[in-house]
Amino acid sequence: VRSSLGIERFHLLGHSWGGIVANRYAARRPAALRSLILQGAPLSARRGEASIRALVAQLPPAEAAAIAARGRGGAAAPDDAAYQKASGAFMRKHIYRTSLRDVAMPYMAPTPEDRGNAVASALVGDDLLAGFGGVMAGFDDEPLLSRIRVPTLLLRGEFDIMTREATRAVQP
């Protein structure tokens, strides 16, 4: 796309999962970039999971306990009401910050209904709060940061899944 448009060098922004793609692009095609911005990007399963655990710990005690119990292999089943309530609270705070009906649904109208969930499940498994499963299980792209040779800005927002500590940990 870049070469078809006659763009030799450009600034690249990757947010959240798009930050993984941007990080890989920057490490593999550095000559094409002027700068890189990574916003709330989980660059390794280990750090992403630790960040999510820290955010879960900030939920109200009953919700944090319901999620923690399931993570420890507790009795919570996928249809457990307490877990579903807690999981929903986490997702609304850190993943689904806009109205799906008003924002996402008009955009996604031509997309078959199961595609978004199918992609998410393939990437991280059926339950993000249980850790990175799917193809992202155990991934680690943090070493790619050392190959980036352009000015790079690491950002995180108040509601991103990557905590301040996780973002600081990948700074040189």
Give the pLDDT band (50/70/90) at residue 18. Answer: very high
Whether 22 shows a pLDDT value over 90: the answer reads: yes
- What's the burial of 130, exposed, middle or buried (CB within 10 Å: 0-12/13-18/19+)? middle
At 92-126, the pLDDT tens digits run 888 766 655 555 556 556 666 565 667 777 888 77
Helix, strand, coil fractions of the chain, as percent rounded to 5? 50, 10, 35
Using CA atoms, how far apart are residues 142 and 44, in angstroms rounded to an integer? 6
Give the pLDDT band (50/70/90) at residue 72. Answer: low
pLDDT, residue 100, reads 56
Percent of the chain with pLDDT over 90: 44
pTM: 0.81
Helix (H) or strand (E) holding 47: helix 45-57
CA 125 to chain centre: 13
Average pLDDT over residues 67-80: 64
Nearest partner of 156 among 63, 60, 55, judged by Cα: 55
